[in-house]
Structure 1
Amino acid sequence: MFNWLHPYAKTERAYALCNTLLPYFFVTAVVGLLVGFIWGLAFAPSDYQQGDSFRIIYIHVPSAILSMSTYVAMAIAGFVGLVWQWKTAYMSMIAIAPVGAILTFISLFTGAAWGKPMWGTWWIWDARLTAQLILFFLYLGVLALYGAFSDKTQAGKSAAIMALVGVINIPIIHYSVEWWNTLHQGATITKFGKPSIAPSMLWPLLISIAGMVGLIGTLVMMNLKNQILRRELHR
């Protein structure tokens, strides 16, 4: 079933794949972020309750959603490394980690900026916010643990185990607004059966998310290429 993946265990094939995918991710990032941000920040209608302050949603929501998706991708890469002992999987995991950490920081920062006018405070130990902060520390922990070993194979194994253990935090983040009484609002774009955001606001948000996916892909491909080159130089 996964035979198509096996060639990418070789650094040469993984590097070539990065070169192939990089232009597509880059174009998606540029077009998606330009269209999504300009549409959302300049042309989408104001919210009837929050006014123009809601526009931070076009940065906050993509970074928050994709910080979780990126963590899952990192954990999957770690799992592949543990099961098949692929160095390229461990390198992919570490290429993803700093990008995910930055995304999580952006989500926390923009959430605080949004929370101040809405809640009257920059921070509260709300279930969603606390779980998101834990996600940030998990990313940093994976990076720190990987850097603590001179043997990069052992480093990859240790960091992968930590990444896999941390996956339990993802459903906690997602369902925290349902499991606990929190200040954080519930789902918006995932409630297509009962829309809670107007289409004129939703479409630029979806385009922004697509652009952010492109940006993540671009940064991860660049990081992975650097990881491969660094590993080859130290052979």
Structure 2
Amino acid sequence: MDYKNFDLLNPTETHQMLRDSLKDFVQKEVEPQAHEFDKKELFNLALYKKVGELGLLGLTVPEAYGGAGMDATAVCLVHEELSASDPGFALAYLAHSLLCVNNLAVNGSEVQKQKYLPQLSSGEHIGSMAMSEPDYGTDVLGMKTTAVKKGDKYIINGRKMWITNGTIDENKTPSDMVWLYAKTGEKNGRALLSTFIIEKNDPGFYVGQKITDKLGMRASNTAELVF
């Protein structure tokens, strides 16, 4: 490899082609709507669907599950181009594509991958990841949301806060799938954490509130989730 001429921002020809195609899409589709949706604090669901049609929502997902089979560098590249015009929408894309979808692609079971990844990759469904809580942000070991096993199911109780894509509209409609972190016990005084897949129609799950009047990233919805 010729390290002197290596393009760090576009490591391969495929990455460069992806960036070039994105620049045109951003100029035509993202830039014209950015100010309006930021001002109104709205998530552009129609634009999200268009991104799905381009195959960008499941970039790191293997092709067998409806994804593009690319790497995390490709996702970062999409972040860069989207955020140049609409950082709020780019944040919503990040929460879906990496925090939720990539987590599932890497850590999910075969059954879970087959069930959820195709619709998440196509844009038919929207995903989110729920870790932060009202009293605990980056201190994840202090989280209070619990998951207690009852028979062959888990009973989850708690609240999550500042969840990007937690709601997809003004009617407090939850995202289709939530990649949830919850406390399942303790060992040597430290919390044991597990991840769970929550579907929007699961009993006892609802959106507590959409968080408004943010200083920035207003075109991405941020919500409190209650379990």
Do both proteins adopt the same fold according to a TM-score greater than 0.5, normalized to the shorter chain? no
Q: Which has the higher strand share?
A: 2
Q: Answer 1 or 2: which has greater helix percent.
A: 1
TM-score (norm 2): 0.28
Scaled by the length of structure 1, what TM-score is found?
0.27
